[in-house]
Amino acid sequence: MVTLARATYDAIVAHAKRDHPDEACGVVAGPAGSDRPERFVPMVNAAGSPTFYEFDSTELLALYREMDARDEEPVVIYHSHTATEAYPSRTDIALAQEPHAHYVLVSTREHGNNEGPVEFRSYRIVDGVVTEEEVVIRDDLPAPNDRRSTP
């Protein structure tokens, strides 16, 4: 199960809608070992594609250095699907390298960047095995710290 603050959920959905028709991607970092997604970090889809996402390697390296300095880890790794359901593709599964992360997928296929609901699902992906998990959205959790800041 992954538990998200309402504001984190809203930020992920807003990013997915804003980048549609291209896939959006990002990370929600949290204290190492805590499983608490606390710092929302929207990233650039370097692929600029409606069917594939790729973190910019320079941006990703900087984020991992920053997380290391702050004793954080990626708790949630998210991206959107613009024309298909919110389920990991074969490519998503093959590229999943964080066994402790929650892989959140948002499908914007129905409404694109217009008003309307999205499909929002989360998975654990370990050694190529995909397991869907419950998503709990809580209004009583604090909003995430947005983007990056110095440690």
Domain membership flag for residue 150: no
Paired sense of beta strands 102-107 and 72-81, if any = parallel
Give the mean pLDDT of 33-61. 95
Paired sense of beta strands 72-81 and 25-31, if any = antiparallel
Domain membership flag for residue 82: yes
Give the mean pLDDT of 4-12. 96
**CA of residue 134 relative to chain centroid, distance:** 15
> What mean pLDDT is reported for the chain?
93
Domain membership flag for residue 151: no
pLDDT at position 146: 58
Separation of alpha carbons 78 and 133, rounded Å: 14
Paired sense of beta strands 72-81 and 2-5, if any = unpaired
Domain membership flag for residue 34: yes
143 against 105, higher pLDDT = 105
Domain membership flag for residue 56: yes
- Per-residue pLDDT reduced to its tens digit, 42-55: 999 999 999 999 99
25 against 149, higher pLDDT = 25
pLDDT at position 28: 97
Residue in this structure with the two tokens 């409606």, named with its chain if needed = 50
Host domain of residue 19: 2-144
Q: Has residue 60 got a pLDDT over 50?
A: yes
CATH label of the domain that carries residue 30: 3.40.140.10
Q: How many CB atoms lie within 10 A of CB 119?
A: 16
Domain membership flag for residue 109: yes
Domain membership flag for residue 59: yes
Separation of alpha carbons 108 and 37, rounded Å: 22
Separation of alpha carbons 34 and 138, rounded Å: 17
Domain membership flag for residue 149: no
Give the mean pLDDT of 96-102. 95
Domain count, the chain: 1
**Does an H or E element contain 9, and which?**
helix 6-19
Q: Has residue 145 got a pLDDT over 90?
A: no
pLDDT class of 84 with cuts at 50, 70, 90:
very high
> Cβ distance 13 to 63 under 8 Å?
no
